[in-house]
Structure formats: structure tokens, C-alpha cells
Amino acid sequence: MNKKILDSKGSAVNYVSDLLIDAIKNNPSIVLGLATGSTFEDVYAEMARQIKNDKIDLSNVITFNLDEYVDLDKKHQNQSYVYYMNEHFFKWTNINRTNTHFPTDYEDDVALGKEFPEYDEKISIAGKIDIQILGIGRNGHIGFNEPGSSLNSITRCVKLTPSTIQANSRFFDSANDVPKLSVTMGISTIAKLTNKIILVVFGEEKREALQKLLDAKSYDANWPCTILYDYPDLTIVTDFKI
């Protein structure tokens, strides 16, 4: 486990964006696992700036997003993670949209508990994710794998916990408008179908979740982030001392 404790959010953002840009330059056909949330807004902005300045070609880059809401009402379509990725990143690049993937690409038939092995298979066929960036929820969720997520879970439709609905209500008019369901890569998807993970943890309110990971000796389903306790190539980037 490699820990990068940066002394400010700005330097942490630069560290992560430089790492991703260098990886794209070294491998223009890289497979990236992408995350959303406020954590990554500045990372994508900095990457977009460098991509424009240095005219970096993303036409062969392949991406798989971690998660996506289900059943967003019309009024809140701009809270979808597809919209987020377009606004914060894709539209500033020459990425080929057919190379970008979301776990709701099979949305016709979404219901709680339904699994989407097609998504995991697509990641396998692409040769696994070279670098996955991950945020973390205050309750230790990664993607939308909430407490209770099984070690063997694959991409599937899950229910959001009240604490996640509350945390994400800041992006909606009220907590009632936050979708109750999402589709997320599973715990097993993240652990087995990625080669390198960059976990980005901003804000003291996430310290408890991070500490659970740092102290873990095995997977604790109450804190889904603990799946990373023995992950071979994990870099943790924080903007606070740990």
C-alpha cells in the first residue's frame, strides 16, 4: 500500500491528474476505470486542461464508469453520471463515445438485485482495467457498494442507504429526489478486474472509513472499502494526515 499524503487538496488533485495523464501518454489505448462525485471534479478539470494544452489523443482510450443512478426523474437528468462525465471530462477530449461504458448500458430491465455479468465480461474482454480511480463514501462505500455488500458481488442493481441518500441530497432539491437505486460495479469486480487502484480521500469526514481500511486484516462487509486491505497495487491519496 502506497500512501500519498498531500498537504492540500490542490496538490492532491495535481498528483492524481498528472498520474492519469502520464499513464495515457505512456499507453494511448489504456483502459481507465472512472469515478464521479465532487472528489473528481477538479481532477477532471485539470486533466482536461492538460489534454487541451498538450493536444493529447484520447481516441483509443477505453473507459468503464463505476456506477450510475437508476430511475432519475426528468428534472434531475443532469445528476446522472453519464451527464457528469460528459460535462466534466468527455466533452473536452476527443474520446470516442463508443469506447465509454456505464453499468446502466443494459438498463432495459433494471430491478433491485439484478446482476449485469455483461459489464464484468466487457471489462475482462478489454483486458481488465489498467487504472481504477475510486472515491469513498463516509460509510465506507466504494462505487455504490453499500455496507453489507458481499465479497463476491459483481455489477448489479443495489439500494442506496439513507446515509448515502442524505449525503448526495446536496446535488438535488431534496433527499426525496435522490434515486433509491443504482447500478454499481461489485466488490469482486473492483478487486479482480482492475490492475491498479488510486483511492482518493478528501475531507476529514471520511477519516473513519479510511481508518477502517488501514486497520483491516480481512474484508469487513460493514465497511466495503476494506476489500482493498490486501490489494496488490493501491495508492491512497489524501488531503489530511493519516
Which residues lie near ligand GLP (CB under 6 A)? 35-39, 66-67, 135, 137, 143-144, 164, 168
CB of 66 to ligand GLP, least distance (A): 5
Q: How far is the CB of 169 from ligand GLP (least distance, A)?
A: 11
Residue 240 CB, nearest approach to ligand GLP (Å): 14
What are 102's three cell numbers? 456505464
How many whole angstroms separate alpha carbon 93 and alpha carbon 186?
A: 28
What φ, ψ does residue 159 adopt, rounded to 5°? -95, 135
Catalytic annotation present for 139: yes
Catalytic residue among 145, 146, 168, 239: 146
Residue closer to ligand GLP (CB basis): 36 or 93: 36
Nearer to ligand GLP, 38 or 78 (CB): 38
Residue of minimal CB distance from ligand GLP? 135
| Active-site residue identified among 42, 46, 65, 67 | 67
Query: Among residues 19, 1, 5, 39, which one has the least CA distance to residue 239?
Result: 5
Catalytic residue, candidates 65, 139, 145, 168 = 139
Active site residue 73: no
Grid cell at residue 49? 486542461
* Pairing of β 100-101 and β 2-5: unpaired
**Nearer Cβ to ligand GLP, position 93 or 168?**
168
Place of cell 473507459: 63
Supply the minimum distance, in Å, between the C-beta of residue 37 and ligand GLP.
Answer: 3
68 included as an active-site residue: no
Q: Given the complex with ligand GLP, which of 196 and 206 has the nearer CB atom?
A: 206
Query: 192 CB contacts (<8 Å, ≥6 apart)?
Result: none
Query: What is the spatial distance between Cα 226 and Cα 151, in angstroms, rounded to a whole number?
Result: 10
Please check whether residue 178 is in contact with residue 75, taking contact to mean a CB–CB distance below 8 angstroms. Answer: no
Residues annotated catalytic, as ranges: 67, 139, 141, 146
